[in-house]
Amino acid sequence: MRARYPDAEGYVERDGVRIFYEIFGSGEPTVLFLPTWSYGYSRFWKAQVPYLARHGRVITFDGRGNGRSSRPDGAAAYGDAEFAADALAVLDAVGCEQAYLVSFSRGARWCLLLAAEHPERVRGAVFIDHALPLPPGAPVRDAAIHAFDEPSALADGWGKWNRHYWLDHYADFVEWFAHQIFSEQHSTKQIEDAIGWALETTPETLISTITTADKTSTVQAVRELASRIQCPVLVLHGDEDAIVSHARGQTLADITGGRLVTIRGGGHAPQARDPVKVNLLLRDFTAPEPPRTLTWTRAQRRAKRALYISSPIGLGHAQRDAAIAAELRALRPDLQIDWLAQHPVTLALEQRGERIHPASALLASESRHIESESAEHDLHCFQALRRMDEILVANYMLFHDVVNEEDYDLWIGDEAWELDYFLHENPEEKRAAFVWMTDFVGYLPMADGGAHEAFLTSDYNAEMIEHVERFPRLRDRAIFVGNPDDIVPDAFGQDLPPIRAWTEQHFDFSGYITGFDPAAFADRTALREALGYRPDEQVCIVTVGGSGVGGHLLRRVIAAFPEAKRQVPALRMIVVTGPRIDTAEFEQADGLEVRAYVHELYRHLAACDLAVVQGGLSTCMELTANQRPFLYFPLRHHFEQNFHVRRRLERYGAGRCMTFETSTPEVIATAIAEEIGRSVHYRPVETDGAARAAARIAELI
């Protein structure tokens, strides 16, 4: 799922070649992201588009040879003048008189032509790791390029830059080249993206782009064009670019009088690998003049304020976070708490009277992404998180704008992955105390993922470990919502430390946080009467949380109801779909109710005779705290539910784990009959977790 979809899209046609474009946002300035080499297409800019589209109009288009645009035959169709003419045609089609141009790698060629030959259309030009033929070159690579058309026995390194090798071993070349683009460590997702985009075109197309003679093919021609540029110029270049020498970036900046920004340690595509820094540089370059009047409040006159970022994946975060906030206010009555959160968390917070920051409406939906990644009771959670990369960038950039426009003393992130990750990638952006909270630590591979998934999870864990140990000052408090014994007995990966030992070294432990005191429900008879449940009925609550992933489980349990009712005549089943699943999809029946929402569901769970749930931690621990029997069905491939949550529930001796694949309606009905009303004796769940977490947080204010 994309972080932002276009507000409009279309295509222009030139000489039978269709060029597809997309428009995001409105107003000024207008930023035109130019295509790069036909190895990829406009999705190369996915980390930039949502941010800049909140500050003006953004236009992207797929360059000829990839994406949705045509793939014409012949080298003449891929000349620099053709790409430049495509850009002008797109600007004309969308009614744009003048734009900032942003180019990457080979796209610098048509950016150069447009800025030099059509200055009236260009307000400014950005060159990211440009591939213009300027000195000094890279001797090893240049030697390989000179032999491009000749059969080569070299199958390593730049020897793969050869038309014959592309025709015979295209997939191998594509993979090798992606690794050259992203030479930085821990770039597995960016490499996968680049490979996928390159495989959408053909080696014949790429050969056509290389063999054409162009206006920008010689050093003299490039120098002449660059010297004619009159608009402001920004040059970004990584000093560890494995494709184009960093010195070439300096040369272009010198000729144009532009500003050079060096990404020290950066590779060839910083817009993908270091998106926050690139986004901020682009915003500064394209931003209008600042307002003439500003208001600044002296530090001692500022109110105490905290910004609380609560994960939208599961409603349980909302309840525990609200409980922490209440305890925090008791300790710091003068503290104002604003919430940056998404649906459905915002619903739960609003009902508690919490203040939702208006910018919350602009967050890209993580819940909707998770739903789009799910299949029949199957969610490959780790891979879904990896594919949420552009959403996380977009949401971090929104957070960045909020905290740069308003003063906050404290940031609290409950599994706000984007906040923790990009602060560690950009430590200079930290400007308030930061609290990080989570109820699990460590990505773990699923068995059927094989060696590759084990490598990926280990790589992600290694990057997190490097972040924390290099910048221990970033997390002023790291709080594990649970206890040391809840942690899985695994290592982060080969040659990486044990998860428990590392977590104990780097986290405080709050104990679990339910957000309520089970003692309040000790009189279940009174509670059931208050909730409208009769003494002669056996109540089964079926709930799958707020993410919308649980529709298949609900259907399976509903299909089990007739047989369960036969075995348990007093059965009353209440199915809670959550706000993201339409109740109209399910039929009601005598003794079976389907509801979209139940206020204070945890009270109903405390009153029920049995619950049927997914394997999510929050609901399972609420049932554990209230000593209620329950069946739980971990989602297939959901590493957290299958490893971290299950480990914790086994430690508490809580619940009966079921396998969705083998649980027919008949099996579920029998399990309901066996478990409903059963007396259970789980390990007690602590009730002071929110107070303990708040006490540690309050020390920072």
Q: What is the CATH number of the domain that holds 124?
A: 3.40.50.1820
CA–CA distance, 562 with 533 (Å, rounded to integer): 20
The mean-pLDDT minimum among 140-144, 386-390, 472-476, 505-509 falls in 140-144
- Does residue 202 sit within a domain? no
| Local confidence band at 234 (pLDDT 50, 70, 90 cut-offs) | very high
The structure tokens listed for 82 are 């053709």
- For residue 317, the model assigns a pLDDT of 83
* CA distances to 306, 310, 332 from 696, in Å: 14, 18, 12
Question: Kind and range of the H or E element at 111?
Answer: helix 108-117
548 and 501 housed in the same domain? no
Between strands 410-414 and 355-356, the pairing is unpaired
Residue with tokens 């040879």: 65
* CA neighbor of 496 nearest in space, from 458, 470, 468: 458
Cα–Cα separations (whole angstroms), residue 549 to 246, 383, 605, 663: 47, 15, 20, 18
Rounded distance, CA 209 to CA 224, Å? 22
The mean per-residue pLDDT over the stretch 132-157 comes to 72
Burial code of 476-502, b = ≥16 C-beta within 10 A, e = fewer? bbbbbbbeeebbbeebbbeeeeebbeb
Query: How, if at all, do strands 17-25 and 57-61 pair?
Result: antiparallel
Residue 154 lies in a domain: no
Question: Which residue, chain included where needed, has tokens 């959160």?
Answer: 341
Spatial distance between the Cα atoms of 402 and 399, rounded to a whole number of angstroms: 5
Say yes or no: 312 and 273 in one domain. Answer: no
Residue 174 within any structural domain of the chain: no
Over the Cα atoms of the chain, what is R_g?
Answer: 29
Which among 286, 309, 330 is the end of a domain? 286
Residue type, 67: G
Q: Going by C-beta distance under 8 Å and a sequence separation of 6 or more, which residues neighbour residue 492?
A: 442, 458, 461, 462, 465, 498, 499, 502
Residue written as token pair 């259309």? 121
SS3 36: coil
Helix (H, G, I), strand (E, B) or coil at 487: coil
In this structure, the answer to whether residues 264 and 321 fall within a common structural domain is no
Q: Are residues 407 and 347 in the same domain?
A: yes
What residues contact 401, with CB distance under 8 A and at least 6 apart? 54, 359
Residue 466 falls within a domain, yes or no?
Answer: yes
Give the span between the Cα atoms of 36 and 618, in whole angstroms.
Answer: 46
Average pLDDT for 662-685: 97
Quote the pLDDT of residue 599: 80
In the chain, the percentage of residues whose pLDDT exceeds 70 is 97
- For residues 426 and 276, the answer to whether their CB atoms sit within 8 Å is yes
Confidence of residue 142 (pLDDT cuts 50, 70, 90): low
| Same domain? 504 vs 527 | no
Per-residue tokens: 209: 């782009």
Which tokens in the block code for residue 89?
A: 């045609």
Confidence of residue 146 (pLDDT cuts 50, 70, 90): low
User: Would the pLDDT of 326 be above 60?
Assistant: yes
Looking up tokens 């609560």 gives 310
Neighbouring residues of 647: CB distance < 8 A, sequence distance ≥ 6 = 486, 487, 488, 489
The reply to whether 18 and 66 lie within a common domain is yes
Buried b (16+ CB within 10 A) or exposed e, 399-408: bbbbbeeeeb
Enter the tokens of residue 269. Answer: 């595509």
- CATH number for the domain that contains residue 351: 3.40.50
| In 4-97, beta strands by DSSP E | 8-14, 17-25, 30-33, 57-61
**Quick one: pLDDT band at residue 143, thresholds 50, 70, 90?**
low
Listed in sequence order, the residues at least 6 apart from 285 whose beta carbon sits closer than 8 Å to its beta carbon are 100, 124, 126, 232, 234
Residues 390 and 468 in one domain: yes
Among 224, 257, 286, the domain boundary falls at: 286
Residue 126 located in a structural domain: yes
Same domain, 611 and 568: yes
Is residue 534 predicted with pLDDT exceeding 80? yes
Share of the chain above pLDDT 90, in %: 85
Q: What is the pLDDT of residue 152?
A: 74
Burial of 303 (0-12, 13-18, 19+ CB in 10 A): exposed
Q: Which amino acid is at 585?
A: E
Write out the H or E segment, with its range, that includes residue 424: helix 417-425
682 located within any domain: no
- Asked whether residue 506 falls in the same domain as residue 594, the answer is no
- Per DSSP, the three-state class of 512 is coil
**How many Å apart are CA 11 and CA 90, to the nearest integer?**
8
Q: Is the pLDDT of residue 320 over 80?
A: yes
Query: How far apart are the C-alpha atoms of 609 and 673, rounded to whole Å?
Result: 11
Residues 586 and 562 in one domain: yes
pLDDT per residue as tens digits for the range 147-184: 788 887 777 888 899 999 999 999 999 999 999 999 99
Q: Is 195 part of any domain?
A: no
User: Chain centroid to CA 550: how far?
Assistant: 21
Enumerate the β-bridge partners of residue 435.
412, 477
Q: Phi and psi at residue 267, in whole multiples of 5°?
A: -95, -145
How many domains are contained in the chain?
Answer: 3
Q: Among residues 291, 288, 244, which one has the least CA distance to residue 127?
A: 244
Q: Are residues 46 and 24 located together in one domain of the fold?
A: yes
pLDDT score at 497:
98
Q: Is residue 358 scored above 60 in pLDDT?
A: yes
Does any domain span residue 82? yes
Is the Cα torsion angle 328, 686, 477, 381 positive or negative in sign?
negative
Q: pLDDT tens, 415-470? A: 999 999 999 999 999 999 999 999 999 999 999 999 999 999 999 999 999 999 99
Residues 213-227, mean pLDDT to the nearest whole number:
87
* CATH code of 602's domain: 3.40.50.2000
Length in residues, the chain: 701
Q: Are residues 253 and 348 in the same domain?
A: no
Nearest to 202 by CA among 225, 170, 226, 180: 170
Residue 612 parent element (H or E): strand 610-614
d(CA 701, CA 433): 8
Q: For position 464, what pLDDT does the model report?
A: 98
CA 655, CA 647: separation in Å to the nearest integer?
A: 12
pTM over 0.85: yes
Alpha carbon distance 591, 107 (integer Å) = 65
Query: pLDDT at residue 507 above 90?
Result: yes
Return the number of other C-beta atoms located less than 10 Å from residue 149's C-beta.
12
Residue 140 has pLDDT above 60, yes or no: no
Q: How confident is the model at residue 677 (pLDDT cuts 50, 70, 90)?
A: very high
Beta strands in 390-536 (DSSP E): 410-414, 433-438, 477-480, 508-509
Amino acid letter, 71: R
| 47: containing domain | 8-136+210-286
Beta bridge partners of 336: 305
Q: How sure is the predictor about 144, in pLDDT bands with cuts at 50, 70 and 90?
A: low
Question: pLDDT band for position 291 (50/70/90)?
Answer: confident
- Report the C-alpha gap between 368 and 547 in whole angstroms: 8
Mean of the per-residue pLDDT values of the chain: 94
- Give the closest residue to 436 by CA, choosing from 480, 397, 391, 386: 480
**Residues 616 and 645: beta-carbon distance below 8 Å:** yes
Q: Which of 263, 286, 309 is the last residue of a domain?
A: 286
Is residue 539 within 8 A of residue 609, CB to CB? The reply is: yes
Q: Are 613 and 631 in contact (CB under 8 A)?
A: yes
